[in-house]
Amino acid sequence: MNSMNTSLLGQNVSTAVTSQFKQDSFDSAVAKNVLVVALGITISYINGTMIYTFWKHQVFYMNSRYILFIHLVINDMIQLSTSILLFVLSYFFHINAFLCCIIIAFAVLTTVNTPLNLAVMAVECYVAVCFPLRHSDMCTVKRIYIVIACIWALSLLSSLPDIFYFMAANPDQLFSSTLLCTINTLITNSIFIKKKEILYIVYFVSVWLVFIYTYFKIFFATKSLKSLKSSETKKAQNTILLHSFQLLLSMLTYIYPMTLKQIFQLFSLYYVHVIYLWYILVQILPRCVSPILYGLRDVLFRNHLKKYLPCSFYDVMIEGLVSIT
């Protein structure tokens, strides 16, 4: 249990399941993996269609808001794919150590990227609502790509040293050995573990401060605009609430390592099942919110998106989700 108590990353909720998977029956293990893979394929199909829609229409890739949105979608697809791959591998396979480092690196980077991207989207939305005349000058395409590069740089600086430490400490075994691919297997140094926890707390507080400031500003700005219809005001408020929900789900990634011990103490008899549900909540559900919030509810994007989705799929899933929000 010590390795689980020092788990570093939310995308490795599957680590806890891995160490306990023998408690699952074969049927239970297969059912859990099939459900995770099915959810991943469905979400990736929607997100992939959104990426295709984005690149087919110039109006989107010349707009800062859509660029940030599609970066979030691409990041989510990579994160979801690596997370599910780690989940499935953890039940059934040991893999080469070097390959494990590569998969873990992508999972780590994209997991850290998500809340940072959401914070930038909050700032962009704040500028658009509160400073509409300056928005085009402040949020240029060039500046947005620079900000995206900074997001990746922050993630690299905060995460890759851990992976490099493992590679440097085990050079002889890097290409010859196989292992159970989890972050706990790679990182066991207590200094790196403590550093990661402190860094996540800093990220947690910083992103929430940005979010609280910008979205309260947006909320009061929409309330003060009398030109807005009541339906438009309600939609703006719903967007804020949905964005809050998505950010909350994403931030669970940061607090997960510090809550793992408490979860075990509360649900020791059903630990493996609770951790599985926690994995769905933290890693799968937030990837569903992004398409709903930024793609399907946007009229311009939705009108183009429906050209590339089957009519029945669009009518049943998209229109239903849009009506809810």
Measured in whole angstroms, the distance separating CA 123 from the mean position of its chain's CA atoms is 18
Residue 323's pLDDT band (cuts 50, 70, 90):
low
81-90, 97-106, 135-144, 191-200: segment of lowest average pLDDT: 191-200
Whether residue 320 is predicted with pLDDT greater than 70 in this model: the reply is no
The domain limits of the chain are 2-324
Mean pLDDT of 253-278: 73
Residue 9 and residue 108 in contact, taking contact as beta carbons nearer than 8 Å: yes
Q: Which secondary-structure segment (H or E) carries 178?
A: strand 178-179
Instruction: Tell me the whole-structure pTM to 2 decimals.
Output: 0.82
**CB neighbours (10 Å) of residue 68?**
23
Reported in sequence order, the residue ranges of 21-177 that DSSP labels E, i.e. its strands, are 95-96
Which two three-digit tokens encode residue 212?
A: 């609280």
One-letter amino acid of 18 = T
Cβ–Cβ < 8 Å for 220, 210:
no
Give me the pLDDT at residue 153, please.
92
Query: Cα–Cα distances in Å, from 62 out to 180, 248, 297, 301?
Result: 44, 29, 20, 13
Tell me how far apart the alpha carbons of residues 325 and 320 are, in angstroms, rounded to a whole number: 9
For residues 103 and 278, the model is more confident at: 103
pLDDT, residue 276, reads 84
Task: Indicate the average pLDDT of the chain.
Answer: 77
Q: Which residues contact 77 (CB under 8 A, 6 or more apart)?
A: 44, 47, 48, 51
Which CATH superfamily is 2-324 part of?
Rhodopsin 7-helix transmembrane proteins (1.20.1070.10)
Q: What share of the chain is helix, strand, coil (3-state, %, to 5)?
A: 85, 0, 15
Most confidently predicted of 31-35, 246-250, 256-260: 31-35
Which of 68-82, 91-105, 182-196, 306-320 reaches the highest mean pLDDT?
68-82
CA distance 176 to 34: 31
Q: Round to whole Å and give the CA distance between 269 and 31.
A: 20
